[in-house]
Amino acid sequence: MDDRVDRFPATVRPLGDRAWLAEFEAESEAIAWAEAVARMAGTGIEVVPAHRTVAVIADADRTEWELAELEKRLARIPVGFSGGTATVRLHEIPVLYDGPDLLEVAESLEISPRAVVDLHTSVEYTTLAVGFQPGFPYLGRLPTPLDRIGRRDSPRTRVAAGSVAIAAGRTGIYPIDSPGGWRILGWTPTAIVDLEADFFLFSPGDRVRFRPIDASRILRAGSRQT
């Protein structure tokens, strides 16, 4: 006997006349529901998870669904429904942990820089969302006590592409040179975006592990951005 009691998103509300926003109690629920919607909806539907919400955007000229029927279907997809077998990608990201904020983070937590690195590499992260720049992954959750570290009081005017940073319980990688206020722990030689080639390494739901490397690895791979 199947005694499972299905639960549904907290809300599924319209965003204009061709989009909807679903809200969830947990980030993992949002990611699983987004994957199920993407498999069910097919062509012409964009699914955008972001932490505990999922936006579903319909291109009426491309989707086979009538919008009213699609809205009804969304409301009937339960939390945790797989809709098939999902392929979870695991990315291993090499990091040279020599960032300008590493020592300050260690001192604020009263631990050694090595302990900060050990903590940062001790868990497997989930890609919760991708933004605020194209390809920037929000990865969570940081282990305690790194999750207590906030943003810098004064953002930097330039953070190098590949910088691995933390803030407010999350870790991420800057995909391009840009201003930024997260605390930089290190740098990775792994390119995570190529805008000209329309390449983006991370998608919501992907798993990520960080692995420390030494400077000689960077030198062998080529010159480092600064």
Span 18-72, pLDDT tens digits: 888 888 888 778 877 887 887 777 677 878 777 788 888 888 777 777 888 888 8
Query: What pLDDT score was predicted for residue 84?
Result: 47
Nearest to 149 by CA among 96, 199, 95, 185: 185
pTM equals 0.71
pLDDT of residue 4: 46
Show Cβ contacts of residue 46 under 8 Å, excluding neighbours closer than 6 positions: 55, 56, 57, 58, 59
Query: Looking at residue 180, what is its pLDDT?
Result: 94
pLDDT value, residue 124 = 95
CA distances from 195 to 3, 42, 150, 176, 177 (A): 48, 25, 29, 10, 13
Specify the pLDDT at position 17: 80
The answer to whether residues 42 and 29 touch, using CB atoms and an 8 Å cutoff, is no
Q: Which pair of tokens denotes residue 163? A: 């910088």
Distance between CA 159 and CA 180 in Å, rounded?
6
Residue entry with tokens 């803030």: 167
Tokens of 16: 């204009």
d(CA 57, CA 64): 13
Interatomic CA distance for residues 33 and 47, integer angstroms: 10
Which pLDDT does position 14 carry in this prediction?
87
H-type alpha helices, 12-121: 27-41, 67-75, 102-109, 113-120
Q: Collect the ranges in the chain with pLDDT lower than 70.
A: 1-7, 10, 42, 80-87, 216-226
What is the reported pLDDT for 6? Answer: 61
**Can you give the pLDDT at residue 217?**
61
pLDDT of residue 39: 75
Both tokens of 95, joined, read: 């990091």
